[in-house]
Amino acid sequence: MSRLVPVGVLGGSGYTGLEVLRVLRGHDGVEVRFSTSDSEAGKPTPMPGLSFIPVAQARLEEIEVAFLCLPHGEAAAWVDKNGKSVPKIVDLTADHRPGSGRESEAVYGLPEVNPAEVAKARLIANPGCYPTGVIMSLLPLQKAGVIDDAHPIMVSAASGVTGAGRAPKRELLFGEVFGDYRPYGLGNDHRHLKEMRATLPGLQLLFVPHLLPVARGILETIALPVRAGVDAARVKALWKNAYGDRGAVRVIDGAPSLADVSGNDLLVLGAFDNVGLATPTVTVVAALDNLGKGAAGQAVQNMNLMLGYESGRGIRC
């Protein structure tokens, strides 16, 4: 049997940390040595036989890969203090993503886009959940020059409540959320826009997030102005050309929905033509699980590439 690579999960009791543990439970190339949580120390993790340990007891010298599933700002602090102790790090926070001010320290890891760079990286900035759907949808289209960038691109996005983390918040109580559907972050200044703008320079993104009363999943509906003669079939052909059948991207003919992605690590894309508009516009629909392809699944794909494994090893497709 081949060697199991020792890994550790920092912040394992949060939603993304728990999900990393669930993905790694089905991975045959790594062994989780520890998972930290101060508030849940001693309690069982999703990994059979493994309990949470306090962060101060993490033996970093034992691991080859660290997953940072920490609150914003804590990952940067952790890297400053401990970065040299662990050979490879996958940071699930926004602390090293494009637009963070620390992006030069890390490789932004989109496994289907820049696998060779990811493979050589020491520190990966794992993309955000909303940005993954938008960037993966638009990047190949921008590269091919089919987007009419004179017009704003309207992104209407909805996320389940796990997107806000596991710490209790009054506005996320069941009684507040259930049966409701509402936008938030109005005014086009959601914190994820920095990452999207830095990765898709020159595109005018109008991003409107909504809170969906489900636990998990993201659906993004994008009104995409395109150059004359460009249609949904062209868009789908460009995606298929960019992503092929590799990795975790699926291009489908119907409309992607949360049922396609909830609990797995896929990004599912669809494109549709529209009539009755002066500006040719294709509707793009992207579905992904905020905890899957939007966090843990993509983090494990990045880890796989860093370890020389096939990127899809262990992920849930």
Ligand X SMILES: NC(=O)c1ccc[n+]([C@@H]2O[C@H](COP(=O)([O-])OP(=O)(O)OC[C@H]3O[C@@H](n4cnc5c(N)ncnc54)[C@H](OP(=O)(O)O)[C@@H]3O)[C@@H](O)[C@H]2O)c1
Our finding on whether 292 is near ligand X (CB under 6 A) is no
Smallest gap from Cβ 124 to ligand X, in A, equals 13
Lay out the site mask for ligand X across 15-54 (x = CB under 6 A, - = otherwise).
xxx-------------------xxxx--------------
- Name the strand (E) or helix (H) holding 282: strand 281-288
Our finding on whether 74 is near ligand X (CB under 6 A) is yes
Q: Out of 71, 87, 152, 244, which residue is the one contacting ligand X (CB under 6 A)?
A: 71
CB nearer ligand X, residue 73 or residue 244: 73
Q: Are 107 and 116 in contact (CB under 8 A)?
A: no
Q: Is 129 a catalytic residue?
A: yes
Strand partners, 270: 285
Strand, helix or coil for residue 89: strand
* Rounded Cα distance, 157 and 173, in Å: 21
Interface with ligand X in residues 105-164 (CB under 6 A): 128-129, 162-163
Lay out the site mask for ligand X across 243-272 (x = CB under 6 A, - = otherwise).
------------------------------
Phi, psi angle pair for 20, to nearest 5°: -60, -45
Smallest gap from Cβ 67 to ligand X, in A, equals 10
User: Which residues have a Cβ under 8 Å from the Cβ of 253 and sit 6 or more positions away?
Assistant: 270
Smallest gap from Cβ 308 to ligand X, in A, equals 25
CB nearer ligand X, residue 17 or residue 98: 17
The number of beta carbons lying within 10 Å of the beta carbon of residue 212 is 21
Q: How deeply is 282 buried, as exposed, middle or buried, from its count of CB atoms within 10 A (0-12, 13-18, 19+)?
A: buried
- Name the strand (E) or helix (H) holding 302: helix 297-306
**Catalytically annotated residue among 89, 129, 226, 261:** 129
Q: Out of 5, 7, 8, 11, which residue is the one contacting ligand X (CB under 6 A)?
A: 11
CB nearer ligand X, residue 151 or residue 166: 166
- Pick from 108, 94, 31, 104: which is nearest to 64 by CA? 31
The owner of tokens 């704003």 is 152
User: Which of the residues are catalytic?
Assistant: 129
List residues near ligand X by CB under 6 A: 11-17, 37-40, 55, 69-72, 74, 92-94, 128-129, 162-163, 165-167, 290-291, 294-295
